[in-house]
Amino acid sequence: MRETSQKTLLRALAGEALSPPPVWLMRQAGRYLPEYRATRARAGDFLSLCYNPDLATEVTLQPIRRYGFDAAILFADILLVPQALGADLWFVTGEGPRLSTITGDEGVAALKPAGEIHETLAPVYQTVRNVASALPRETTLIGFAGAPWTVATYMIAGRGTPDQGPAHKLKAENPGAFEALMARITEATIEYLAAQIEAGAEVVKLFDSWAGSLEGEDFRRYCQQPIATIIEALKARYPDVPVIAFPRGAGAAYAGFARATGADCVALDQSVSPEWAAANVQVNGCVQGMLDPRHMVTGGDALVSEARAIVRALRGGPHVFNLGHGITPDADPENVHRLLDAIRG
């Protein structure tokens, strides 16, 4: 186990208010960096990069070398779990992922048991081991997975959709098949994250990117409850490993999310103000976010002032500085330096 006493991310996740707060960025290893683009070209395609431990390790470490973030996040993709369960997965250049679709009971029944995912995902675990041994002692390693609702939306539609309509349709018309699919994804996600922890991940994060399309009881049942089930299972095995949950688009439902799920930290998008987050979310523990990623493109004084305003609003409690969503390919790498200067001063 690497030294953790000086790891600011772990201290914040444990409830400590730090000045300055620890910083990392969603999608910090990505297309905005020229070194990432060069490494991806060596890999040939996106999936080959995900499954090549040497190259995936390299792109995970690139932003740490360039910027000195307080955490590295594993380079992988949320759709590797569906592939490990037996779905066909490919990426279309310029358009994104495509999967074989699940439209009913037969498709769910054809999926592999959750315990059989590890052979496919073994290269990912090797990447975790590689990164864990290569990171600076003060840098925390984050593993991750997609939350069940978001993963299910892709498995049902076969691609990303504007309103997750196919998943909502299956949920309404064949709830048995839908809930069986959610259960299988939940079981597989527990096993996947547990294996990442065994390989050296010190924190894990659940990305529910399409949580905002769920409302009322559906939000509780298909966003909160699966995440709570995963966290409970992981805490039973690894009680000291923190979990970050990101129910993007949750709005007012961010309040109380940590209590409902057991998450050590709730990540917030840019749709809520830092003052609201301090009053309604940070009262229950650590918060992460919530700078608009557009600032990483436009830069300037607005980037600096907004970053400092977020830090001021959340300085009374545990806070991990991050964006409200992933950094975009058109971001200026120099704006990341400006951001870190504004936060660390």
Which is the catalytic residue, given 11, 32, 77, 264? 77
Alpha helices in the chain (DSSP H): 8-13, 34-43, 46-50, 53-67, 80-84, 105-109, 118-134, 148-157, 165-173, 175-199, 216-219, 225-237, 257-261, 274-280, 295-298, 300-313, 333-344
Given a contact cutoff of 8 angstroms between Cβ atoms, the answer to whether 266 and 281 are in contact is yes
Nearest residue to 153 via CA among 182, 191, 173: 182
Nearest residue to 295 via CA among 232, 253, 340, 233: 340
Catalytic (active site) residue 154: yes
Which is the catalytic residue, given 67, 125, 154, 222? 154
Given a contact cutoff of 8 angstroms between Cβ atoms, the answer to whether 105 and 54 are in contact is no
Q: Is the peptide bond before 182 cis (omega within 30 degrees of 0)?
A: no
Given a contact cutoff of 8 angstroms between Cβ atoms, the answer to whether 254 and 288 are in contact is no
Which is the catalytic residue, given 2, 40, 159, 315? 40
Tell me how far apart the alpha carbons of residues 1 and 3 are, in angstroms, rounded to a whole number: 7
What region, left, alpha or beta, does residue 161 occupy, with left being phi > 0 and alpha being psi -120 to 50 degrees? beta
Three-state DSSP class for residue 101? coil
Which is the catalytic residue, given 2, 31, 98, 220? 31
Given a contact cutoff of 8 angstroms between Cβ atoms, the answer to whether 113 and 147 are in contact is no
* Amino acid sitting at position 48: S
Which is the catalytic residue, given 11, 27, 184, 248? 27
Catalytic (active site) residue 31: yes
Half-sphere CA count of 98, side-chain side, radius 13 A? 6
Tell me how far apart the alpha carbons of residues 41 and 30 are, in angstroms, rounded to a whole number: 12
User: Which H, E and C letters describe 240-284, residue by residue?
Assistant: CCCEEEEECCCHHHHCCHHHHHCCCEEECCCCCCHHHHHHHCHHH
Helix 300-313 × helix 333-344 angle, to 10°: 40
Given a contact cutoff of 8 angstroms between Cβ atoms, the answer to whether 271 and 251 are in contact is yes
Catalytic (active site) residue 36: no
Catalytic residues: 27, 31, 40, 77, 154
